[in-house]
A and B are shown apart, each in its own frame.
Chain A
C-alpha cells in the first residue's frame, strides 16, 4: 500500500481496494465475535443472576399491615381503637413539576413549611417512583377538595391506613400508654419482618407491655409491578392476622369518676378488685392526650408537656414514690399483734413527744402542740386517731427485721408485678438495704422513722393499693393485673400459694379499727362517712414533701404550695366483705382525711353503685 502512485492503474487500484475490503471484512467478523461473546456472557453464563434480578423487578412482595389489637374495659367499652387516617402522598416521578405541584397543593389544602421540609427529608431516602408522604390526617373537607382538583394534581394521591385512636383522650393515657412512630433506636433492635407493614410501636403503658400480642402478624402480597412501582396485578396474598384484643379489669366509669375527683389536683389513685387483683381504676393526674403522640407530636406540644411544672407525662401511679406515712400503721399494728408486741389491752399515755434512750431530741406527734392523744391510747385508737407515739414504741419493740419482712409480704419495697412497664419498687428499708445503699449500719432512730412510714421508706400509689387489698383480703397475696382477658381468653389470677400468716382475730381487730377511721367520731377520715350506705375501712396518711426540724412547727401558710405535705389514703369496702381496695395520694394535699379520702369515696361510691349486689347480698 504505497501512496503517491503517479498514474492511474485500474487493476492495481482494484487489488488494493480488495485488500482493504478484506481487512474491513475481518474486522467486521471480529467485532461480531465480540458482540456474540458479550451476549453469550449475559444470556448464558450469567443467565441465573439476571433471571433472578428480572423476577425481583417484576414481583414485589409487599407487606400487608395487620390491624392492631383493640383494648376494651371490663364492660366492653372500647378504649383503644384503630381508625382510618388519610395521608397525602406524592410519587415524585409521576409529577411533571414537583415544585409546581407543591404550590398547587398548598393552594387547596394547608401545607406548612414544616410539612414541606419533612417531605423533602423523606424524599431523599426514597426512590422517585415510591410514595412519599406530605401531609397526614387529612380532614374530610381536605379530601374532598383534593378529589375535586385531582385532574390537575398528577402525582399526588390520598392513601388510607389505620391509625391508633384513643376515644377517651387523657382518661387512660397513663394506663394504656400510646403508640408512636418507630424511631431509629427501636428499629435497630426490631424484628424487621414482623414490623415490615407497620410504622408504629407501643411506646409506654399497656401498648408497650402487650406489644407482642397487640401487634398481630404481618401478611404479604406478591404483586407484579411496572418500573413506576404501580401494581399491575396481585399474584398471591397471605392475609395479615389482627393483633389480640385486650379486655381490661379497668372500669371506665370508675376511672372517669376518679379522674374528675382529682380536678386540678396532682396525684394518683389505684383501685383494685380484691378477689382477682384486677385493677379497677388507675389514675395519674394531671394527664395528657395520648392521641397527640400517635402520628408524631409537634415539638411545641411536646415541650409544653415535658416542661410543665405539673409533669403530666409522669405516671405517678406506678412511678411516683412517696413516703407512705401513717397509711402503713394498720399493717405494722398487725405485726405487733401477731408477734405479741402489743395486745388489744395494751395502752400508752401520749403527751406528744417520744423519747428514746441515748437520743436527746424527741420524736413528736402531729398534735404535739395540743399535748398529744392523751391517756389510754391503745392500738385501735392509735390507728383511728393516727397516733405516732404509739407506733414509735411499737416499731422499736418489733424491730426493723420483722417490719421489713412483713412489709415485703404486703407488697412494699419490690415491684408488684403489674403488667405495665417501668414500675418503681419503692423502698422498704432494712439493715441490708441501708448497708448497701448508704454504707451505714441501721440505727434505732431509723426504725422509729420507719414505724410511721417516714424516713427512708417510699411506696408508689400502686403499692399502697396492693397493701390495702392484702389487708382487706386477710393476707391473700395477689399480683395486681390490668388485663383480664386476651381475645376473650380469661387470664389466670396471679395468687401466691402462701397467705400472709396472721391470726384471724388480729385481722378483725385491725379491720374494725380501720372502719372506725371513717365511721367513728374521732376518726381522721370521718368527714367522708356522711350519707354512706355501706362501710368503708381506711387509713389516712400525711407525708412530708420537705423535712421540718423538730423545733419548728409545720405551718402551711409559711410554705409554698409545692412544699406542702402530701395527703395519702388507703381504703377498702365494704368493710365487712371487702371487694374494692384503694390507695391514693394527693400531692401537697396536706391532710389525708380532707384531701385524699373524698376522692377515694367518690371512686368507691361509683363501684358500689355499679355493683349493688355486693353491698346488699353480703350484709
Chain B
C-alpha cells in the first residue's frame, strides 16, 4: 500500500538506529543533549553574574542526570510499561502528601522534605502520567474506546488538579498537555477532539471566574498590556523583551548583556534565562539553540516512529511533544506572547530537579530507541 511505503521509508533511515553493544545508548540523542547542556552552562555562567557556584551545581545535576539517563536506558521498555501504574500511584500519593506536609517558597507548596533532599512530586508526574497512559492505551485497541478515553482523562486530570492546587500552573499545564498528547497519538477520535475544543472554549470563563487565582489572572492581563503596570507585573515582561530586542542579530557578547548583568532582568538564571541568551548572543544564538531543540525533538519523533511497541511509540511521542511544549511555553512567555507561568527552559534554566527529570524522560526514550527489533 502506498501508505505503507511511506511508513517504511520513515521506518528505515539506515544507520540511525545503531544500538551499542556494551551499553544501550542512542548516540545522536546523547550528543544533542550534551551540546544543549554545554550551552546551558555557558549561558548560566553569565546569567548568574559569573557565579561558579551555580555552574558547578548545575553541572553536577547534569552529570547525575546523564548517568541516570544511561542507567534507565539499560532497562527494557517493557519494564517501565509494567511498573508505570505503580510509579503513577506513588506520584499521586506524594502529590496528596504535598498538600498536607509540603514545604515551599513564595506562597506555593511544591516540595516534600525527605530529610536528605527535597523532592518535587509534580516533576515525577511529568513522566509518570505519559508513561501510565502509554501503557494503558498501548494495550487497548486503537483508537481508544470511550471507556478507555474516560479512564485516561481521569488519570490525567487528578494530578493536574492536585498540582494546580499547589499552585503550580506551569507544571499542571505540562502534565495536562502530556495526557492530551498521549490520547491524541493513540488516535483519539475526531469527535472527541472537537468536543474537547468546545469544552475548552466553555472552560475559559469558568476557569477565569472560579479556578484561577488573582495573581494568575494578573499575569494574563499583563500579557495583554504590559505597559499598564510598568512597575508591577508588567516589569518582568518589559525588561525581558527589552533584553531580547536589544540583543539584535548577533548580541552584546557573552557576559556583556547589560539588562541581565545590571539586574534589570528578573529571574535571569531560571525562567528568564532565554532573555540572557538572546541579549548576549542575539538572534543567531536563539536560532542556533532552537535548531538544537528541533533536532532533539526530531530525533525523539524518529525514535517514537521506530519504536517496537505501541507503549514505546506513545511514550516517546508524548515525551518529545511535551518537551517541545516546555520550549514553546518558556520562549513564548519570556518574549511576551504567552502569560508568565513558572516554566523553565529545558537544559538551560538553573534547577536541579527539572534537569534530572528531563534526563529520566530521555533515558526511557533511549531505552525505547535501543530496544532490539522484534520483527
Please list the residues of chain A having a beta carbon within 8 angstroms of any beta carbon in chain B. 1-8, 11, 13-18, 20-21, 24-25, 28-29, 31-32, 34-36, 38-40, 42-44, 46-47, 49-51, 53-55, 57-58, 127-128, 224-228, 232
Q: Which of A31, A39, A53 has the most CB of B within 10 A?
A: A39
Contact A18 B305 (CB under 8 A): yes
Sample of 17 further A-B pairs with CB below 8 A, known A17-B305, A32-B328: A1-B187, A3-B188, A18-B10, A21-B185, A24-B181, A24-B185, A29-B294, A39-B278, A42-B241, A43-B247, A47-B246, A51-B245, A57-B258, A128-B231, A224-B262, A227-B239, A227-B263
When distances are taken between beta carbons in the complex, the residues of chain B under 8 Å from A51 are 245-246, 248
What are 27 pairs between A and B in contact, CB < 8 Å? A1-B143, A4-B143, A5-B142, A6-B141, A13-B142, A14-B7, A15-B7, A17-B310, A18-B7, A21-B301, A35-B332, A38-B335, A43-B278, A43-B283, A44-B283, A47-B246, A50-B241, A50-B242, A50-B244, A53-B242, A53-B245, A53-B246, A58-B264, A127-B231, A224-B258, A226-B264, A228-B263
State A28–B242 Cα separation when bound (angstroms): 27
CB-contacts of B97-115 with A (<8 A): none
* A80 smallest CB distance to B (angstroms): 40
B243 close to chain A: CB less than 8 A:
yes
B55 close to chain A: CB less than 8 A:
no
Contact A39 B286 (CB under 8 A): yes
State A478–B77 Cα separation when bound (angstroms): 110
When distances are taken between beta carbons in the complex, the residues of chain B under 8 Å from A29 are 294
Contact of B245 (CB < 8 Å), options: A11, A32, A49: A49
Contact B241 A17 (CB under 8 A): no
B6 close to chain A: CB less than 8 A:
yes
Task: Mark B237-281 against chain A: 1 for CB-CB distance below 8 A, else 0.
Answer: 001011111111100000000110011100000000000001000
Contact A58 B244 (CB under 8 A): no
State A150–B297 Cα separation when bound (angstroms): 55
When distances are taken between beta carbons in the complex, the residues of chain B under 8 Å from A35 are 290, 328, 331-332, 335
* B219 smallest CB distance to A (angstroms): 18
B19 close to chain A: CB less than 8 A:
no
Task: Mark B296-330 against chain A: 1 for CB-CB distance below 8 A, else 0.
Answer: 01100100110000100110010001001000100
When distances are taken between beta carbons in the complex, the residues of chain B under 8 Å from A31 are 324, 328
B21 close to chain A: CB less than 8 A:
no
* CB nearest neighbor in B for A127: B231
* A19 smallest CB distance to B (angstroms): 8
* A132 smallest CB distance to B (angstroms): 14
Task: Mark B348-373 against chain A: 1 for CB-CB distance below 8 A, else 0.
Answer: 00000000000000000000000000
A/B pair count, beta carbons within 8 Å: 161
Contact A50 B304 (CB under 8 A): no
State A44–B245 Cα separation when bound (angstroms): 7
State A34–B329 Cα separation when bound (angstroms): 12
Contact B286 A17 (CB under 8 A): no
- Chain B, interface size: which category? 35 or more
When distances are taken between beta carbons in the complex, the residues of chain A under 8 Å from B249 are 43-44, 47
* B245 smallest CB distance to A (angstroms): 3
State A99–B51 Cα separation when bound (angstroms): 34
* A274 smallest CB distance to B (angstroms): 64
Contact of B4 (CB < 8 Å), options: A1, A11, A232: A11
State A28–B191 Cα separation when bound (angstroms): 23
State A53–B262 Cα separation when bound (angstroms): 14
Contact A50 B187 (CB under 8 A): no
State A24–B183 Cα separation when bound (angstroms): 12
B337 close to chain A: CB less than 8 A:
yes
B144 close to chain A: CB less than 8 A:
yes
Contact B290 A36 (CB under 8 A): yes
Please list the residues of chain B having a beta carbon within 8 angstroms of any beta carbon in chain A. 3-4, 6-7, 10, 141-145, 181, 184-191, 231, 239, 241-249, 258-259, 262-264, 278, 282-283, 286-287, 290, 294, 297-298, 301, 304-305, 310, 313-314, 317, 321, 324, 328, 331-332, 335-337
Contact of B187 (CB < 8 Å), options: A6, A7, A13: A13
* B191 smallest CB distance to A (angstroms): 8
A18 and B6 in contact, given A43-B249, A43-B278, A228-B263 (Cβ under 8 angstroms): yes
State A35–B185 Cα separation when bound (angstroms): 24
* B148 smallest CB distance to A (angstroms): 10
State A127–B321 Cα separation when bound (angstroms): 43
* A85 smallest CB distance to B (angstroms): 30
Contact B245 A50 (CB under 8 A): yes
State A2–B301 Cα separation when bound (angstroms): 23
When distances are taken between beta carbons in the complex, the residues of chain B under 8 Å from A16 are 142-143, 187
* CB nearest neighbor in B for A58: B258
State A36–B278 Cα separation when bound (angstroms): 12
* B354 smallest CB distance to A (angstroms): 20
A2 and B245 in contact, given A11-B4, A43-B283 (Cβ under 8 angstroms): no
A47 and B248 in contact, given A3-B143, A225-B262 (Cβ under 8 angstroms): yes
When distances are taken between beta carbons in the complex, the residues of chain A under 8 Å from B337 are 34, 38
* CB nearest neighbor in B for A56: B242
State A50–B321 Cα separation when bound (angstroms): 33
When distances are taken between beta carbons in the complex, the residues of chain B under 8 Å from A25 are 298, 301
Contact B185 A50 (CB under 8 A): no
* CB nearest neighbor in B for A11: B4
State A35–B259 Cα separation when bound (angstroms): 21
Contact B242 A57 (CB under 8 A): yes
A3 and B144 in contact, given A39-B335, A47-B245 (Cβ under 8 angstroms): yes
State A232–B259 Cα separation when bound (angstroms): 13
When distances are taken between beta carbons in the complex, the residues of chain A under 8 Å from B186 are 17
Contact A5 B143 (CB under 8 A): yes
State A6–B145 Cα separation when bound (angstroms): 10
* A463 smallest CB distance to B (angstroms): 58
When distances are taken between beta carbons in the complex, the residues of chain B under 8 Å from A44 are 248-249, 283
State A50–B259 Cα separation when bound (angstroms): 11
State A224–B4 Cα separation when bound (angstroms): 64
* CB nearest neighbor in B for A128: B231
* A258 smallest CB distance to B (angstroms): 57
State A227–B278 Cα separation when bound (angstroms): 19
Contact B332 A38 (CB under 8 A): yes
Contact of A1 (CB < 8 Å), options: B189, B241, B310: B189
State A17–B331 Cα separation when bound (angstroms): 28
State A127–B186 Cα separation when bound (angstroms): 54
Contact B321 A24 (CB under 8 A): yes
Q: Which of A28, A29, A31, A42 has the most CB of B within 10 A?
A: A42
When distances are taken between beta carbons in the complex, the residues of chain A under 8 Å from B247 are 43
